[in-house]
A and B are shown apart, each in its own frame.
Chain A
């Protein structure tokens, strides 16, 4: 089997998305399996296929930073993308990739992991689709069926602007944004962060191509887009720039921001007799990593609220455990919160559990 390699270098932000979509939409029996390597020539924000623009993105921030927004046909959440990422895009015939999603991811992630390792970065694949260095995520991946093709996309991360990412997302409160920002810093990494410098891009690309060739056991033939594909790129460009496409109705529920597999930032509210309790938390598989309580209820002495937040760290989202811990805290410190009982506070925290993906 031969695979066409489209080594396209820096392309417009629009075509960093539309080229692989176009190759997929134009795919027919004569189209070779294709791997495209591209980087955008400017930053932008990209939302998932089933997301709703206004619910996901802080459009005012994007306008102020002159950040365009695109919708892709691949799922998942909104991401900030720029030239510090090298996108690796597989556009394959169905029969040349595994049917099962986990196995498809291995095809892409294996060579990415091997490339990082060549540079001394101890990356590993954490199923389903994360690449981690220690417990930090490096790069993202996604899969879609587009036209007659299977598309698997991922990236190598030279550097990442976590500040821009945190600000580009529409969130319910600044507390939530702060927690997202902090979590991105804590749980994401890049080649620059791991090595103290960016490795030369051309060298990274050469290694990646070698690893792709080895993993797939195929020849990678440098190629270019066909006439039909170029015309399809033009058509997809028009569609992706149209307000109708960008603003189409979605509905994928997002009650959290996934930082990496197993770690998410979530917010929940609960109305107690004494007022609204809002909880913003970072959650891992082990339970609460970090939590902030706010709202319009009275808590006396006020300065102890922060201590209660600390006391709830490392606890599981378990009603009995949480109520007991909050009860004990109230007893030990003589806390008074009219109309807000330990049970109400526990109920607010437990609402973080309502997330179906947790």
Chain B
């Protein structure tokens, strides 16, 4: 488990550096969701829209979108493939993303087309901790994150 301040990122997951989407290869495909840092940046999630099962997605292209407070943004696929499952619970209750983003708040399962190639540039294992440390330092230095005591995403 990588941890910097209140941000917990399990190091058995793979992370998209820019989008803060996590990916977990499983038997049925690659499960994906938003990581703790991404959730904190977005705020309270009000609505999630996800592409349907069977839809082809490209790595780096949107497989859905979300609306959080006064923000709308795409959710970008960490790997290419076909949507194999969509989390209906998170569609019905988008707040799951805020409270349990690694388990109940997963978004989709993607049946990958080129898993080995696609996950090569995702952050994983021992690389997660230094990457997260650098992210937090960078965003705090640039004033992109509130001071720790003012943050509300613990």
Contact = CB atoms under 8 A, between A and B. Distances in A.
B64 to A, nearest CB: 11
Interface in A227-283: 251-253
Given A73-B72, A141-B70, A356-B95, A101 B144 contact: no
B143 interface: yes
A32 interface: no
A9 interface: no
A357 B140 CA distance: 28
Given A50-B65, A103-B143, A143 B47 contact: no
Contacts of B74: 145
A258 B49 CA distance: 22
B145 to A, nearest CB: 6
A144 B70 CA distance: 8
A143 B146 contact: no
Contact of B72 (A74, A94, A129): A74
B24 to A, nearest CB: 24
Nearest to A129: B70
Contacts of B142: 98
Contacts of A100: 40-41, 139, 144-146
Contact of B46 (A74, A103, A357): A357
B69 interface: yes
B42 A252 contact: no
Nearest to B43: A101
B41 A99 contact: yes
Given A99-B144, A100-B144, A252-B46, A76 B70 contact: yes
B73 interface: yes
A102 interface: yes
A101 B146 contact: no
B145 A101 contact: no
B67 interface: yes
Contacts of B69: 101, 128-129
A202 to B, nearest CB: 30
Contact of A75 (B40, B41, B67, B145): B67
Interface of B: 18, 40-43, 46-47, 49, 65, 67-74, 95, 139, 142-146
Interface of A: 48-50, 73-76, 94, 98-103, 105, 128-129, 141-145, 251-253, 356-357
